[in-house]
Amino acid sequence: MPKPKKEPHVFPPTLSADDLHLFNEGTAHRIYDKLGAQLCVHEGVAGVSFAAWAPNASQVWVVGDFNGWDGAAHPLRMLGSSGVWERFVPGLGAGVLYKFQICDRSGHSQLKTDPYGQSFEAAPGNAAIVCDTRSYQWGDAEWMQARREGAVSRSSESGAARETLDRPISIYEVHLGSWRRDPSEPDRLLSYRELAPQLADYAVEMGFTHVEIMPIAEHPFDGSWGYQVTGFYAPSQRYGTPEDFAWFVDHLHQRGVGVILDWVPAHFPRDAFALAQFDGTALYEHADPRQGAHMDWGTLIFNYGRNEVRGFLAANALFWLERYHIDGLRVDAVASMLYLDYSRASGEWIPNQYGGRENLEAIAFLKHVNGLIEHYHPGVLRIAEESTSFPGVTRPLAEGGLGFDFKWNMGWMHDTLHYFAKEPVHRKWHHNDLSFGMLYQYSEQFITVFSHDEVVHGKGSLLLKMGAEHIPEKAANLRALYAHMWAWPGKKLLFMGGEFAQSAEWSHNRSLDWHLCQYADHEGVRRLVRDLNQLYRSEPALGTSDLSPEGFQWLACYDTDASVIAYLRKASAAARPSVGGAGGDASAQSRRSCAALIAIVGHFTPVVREHYRVGVPQAGLWREILNTNSAHYGGSGLGNDGARHTEPIPADGHPQSLLLTLPPHTVLFFRCEVGPQ
């Protein structure tokens, strides 16, 4: 244990009694401005205030390159009974490396990184770096203003919030370290400033509204992909400084692309230098492994019932939104937070106070965080990765829900991939995989996803999952799958590489195989995804009716032998194009209703089906606006000559029908353009 040295001057605390009270209460929403290392002027002197929460420590020192890593020079003092140790060190500035040396009550001392550190050096040093994340000069005022103006506070008394969310949202999920690298330096990671222009160019070209970044909070192990965080308040140094990350977000905003961040409040790793046993006791985690240990991931579970821990995480969510202008948080592993018995056998978990399996403290925490975001940043998206049928995930807080805006539709993903993985001859026995999802489609507000989880751990790429023998047929199946995905209700998310049919399973330690885009089977898929995004963003029937059952209607879902489904997408009344004056004549009214209808016909066998009849509700011309068998996408070009007129022949319960040619493994979009004259 370091021996204390005589101090020339003892500065009074930089934290007030109110600061400490709010911290202990868990209601200091911006506690990151108080704890950790704060550049400040205190009593007229410039320096750094260091503060750490370690209530069970017997002594805490701050050590760093400024004192030769000698704790004796700078002991911290406990502030009352708050558990917070603090000291102002004059003369220090940005760039100083530091850690906390913490002695537990048994006399054992260990070095810990700052839980509130906002910048870190690389492993194995892992020291925090004093920095100012408030000094960046942002240039995205126009973007932020538009986001604020478009935000509507969620309320059980108004449908405005649902309408605000029911807009085109198409998300490109990205792992920064492996999205793209310089071919001449394949082992070097691109920086935030190198990535931003390239990623913005690509997202704009492809028509994605947002990019979702896999976790970039500091983490020591590349193979965790960022999901085992040790620096919750720090953008990873792998790609540059905090200012560089701010520049990254700023640049994408100025190009019209939103940024969603994967946020990981469900668990943290056991690394000895970080949160685990921070003051010699289970401080951030539960002491009992039946509550505090994740069986699947070997990590520790936050103690959501402890005020200071809840405040640490809630403030962390606000930190990313305020310091880095993040447009949405996708909360990882929500299912593991909701259930005490998640991935546990009988006897390996402790029931809640009512004898149930729900984690009441975690549920209260999620509601608390969503409420704070709604209050302070009502335009920010709140997205749950939740794989169970827990009720009310996207129900508003005022109605007793968890308060998320969206939930990943894991059930649809699983069923759809299960269907497309079958050889076509067997698909007729699994036809219900394509239709079952509609039974629960509007129970939540969904994002339809094919994420990184589907292309790792030996699962293979989406292309190779397709139930066909040869690559061209697999590519045709994948094109049909994507068209069905973009036509199906729900916002969209696709993991990088999927858009050009990457053949290999994703690897975090190398670039995507961009060279594949020189081949028609791969470039054709990429062109299709680009065109699907364009249609999704331009056609009200596809992009503004995702959340309402009125936006979907089955035309036919019973033809199991032919493996054909057909359904209608309809624009909401508010989104339908206006024609003529206030009332308009009869033909104008007919054209108006026509323009809001798009019929989707999917055929998933390798044969051509000619003279296939599909009933539709509106007579007139139905233009073929997308055909996944187009030669432009790598198909044969067979289709319906650009359009089909209805015939007054009843089919599928409708008085009018279309006589179509269905190419193999193809999805067709038809827009009703001309009604009866």
* Residue appearing with tokens 């990943």: 408
What element of type H or E holds 384? strand 381-384
- Residue 121 bears catalytic tag: no
- Rounded Cα–Cα distance for residues 625 and 614 (Å): 17
Among the listed residues 603, 593, 542, 548, the one whose alpha carbon sits nearest the alpha carbon of residue 568: 542
User: Counting Cβ atoms within 10 Å, is residue 18 exposed (0-12), middle (13-18) or buried (19+)?
Assistant: exposed
599 within 8 A of 672, measured Cβ to Cβ: yes
- Residue 332 bears catalytic tag: yes
- Rounded Cα–Cα distance for residues 624 and 62 (Å): 68
User: Counting Cβ atoms within 10 Å, is residue 69 exposed (0-12), middle (13-18) or buried (19+)?
Assistant: middle
428 within 8 A of 456, measured Cβ to Cβ: no
* Residue appearing with tokens 């913005």: 200
What element of type H or E holds 622? strand 621-627
Catalytic site residue from 166, 218, 279, 385: 385
Catalytic site residue from 104, 332, 454, 531: 332
- Rounded Cα–Cα distance for residues 604 and 623 (Å): 21
3-class DSSP state of 153: coil
Q: How far apart are the first and last CA of the chain?
A: 92
- Rounded Cα–Cα distance for residues 2 and 398 (Å): 53
- Rounded Cα–Cα distance for residues 553 and 599 (Å): 9
The DSSP code for 296 is: T
How many CB atoms neighbour CB 585 within 10 A?
Answer: 11
Give exposure, 441-469, as e/b (b: 16+ Cβ within 10 Å): bbebbbbbbbbbbbbeeeebbbbbbbbbe
DSSP letters spanning 543-590: HS-SS-GGGEEEEEEEETTTTEEEEEEE--GGGSPP-SSSS--HHHHH
- Rounded Cα–Cα distance for residues 216 and 136 (Å): 19
User: Counting Cβ atoms within 10 Å, is residue 515 exposed (0-12), middle (13-18) or buried (19+)?
Assistant: exposed
Give exposure, 322-331, as e/b (b: 16+ Cβ within 10 Å): bbbbbbbbbb
**Residue 269 — φ and ψ, nearest 5°?**
-75, 170
Contacts of 410 (CB under 8 A, 6+ apart): 385, 386, 387, 449
- Rounded Cα–Cα distance for residues 75 and 58 (Å): 11
Contacts of 274 (CB under 8 A, 6+ apart): 112, 113, 115, 126, 230, 231, 268
Give me the helices (H) in 2-48, please: 17-25
* Residue appearing with tokens 């991935």: 343
- Rounded Cα–Cα distance for residues 548 and 498 (Å): 28
Catalytic residue set: 332, 385
